[in-house]
Amino acid sequence: MKGYVARKGNRWYAVIYEGTDPITGRERRSWHPAGCERGDAERLAARLLLQQVGLAGSGHLGLDAGERLRCLDDTGQRGWQR
């Protein structure tokens, strides 16, 4: 799973990659408004990615959301990334 934050005007958004459309083959992304601060968008993106992976609220390793994201690779497997 991949995600990033983007700014449009004075607003920040969490943008989550959802794979490719099976019919058209185009990449699909969902945009989630996060407010006027980049940090809010980064926290929202982390939470949304964890929900997609299925770790939200699981208490995985006792880490906060940002640390959990750093523990996952692109396939959702556990393992530290640097």
Domain ranges across the chain: 3-70
Q: Which residue has the tokens 């996060």?
A: 34
Query: Which carries the bigger pLDDT value, residue 71 or residue 42?
Result: 42
Provide the pLDDT for residue 74. Answer: 53
Taking only the tens place, the pLDDT of each residue in 46-60 is 999 888 877 655 554
Please, which pLDDT band fits residue 44 given cuts at 50, 70 and 90? Answer: very high
Task: Centre a 10 Å sphere on the Cβ of residue 42 and count the other Cβ atoms it contains.
Answer: 19
CB 55 within 8 A of CB 13: no
Cα separation of 40 and 62, whole Å?
A: 22
The structure's pTM equals 0.61
Output 21 or 73, whichever has higher pLDDT.
21
Residue 24 has pLDDT above 90, yes or no: yes
pLDDT for residue 23 is more than 60? yes
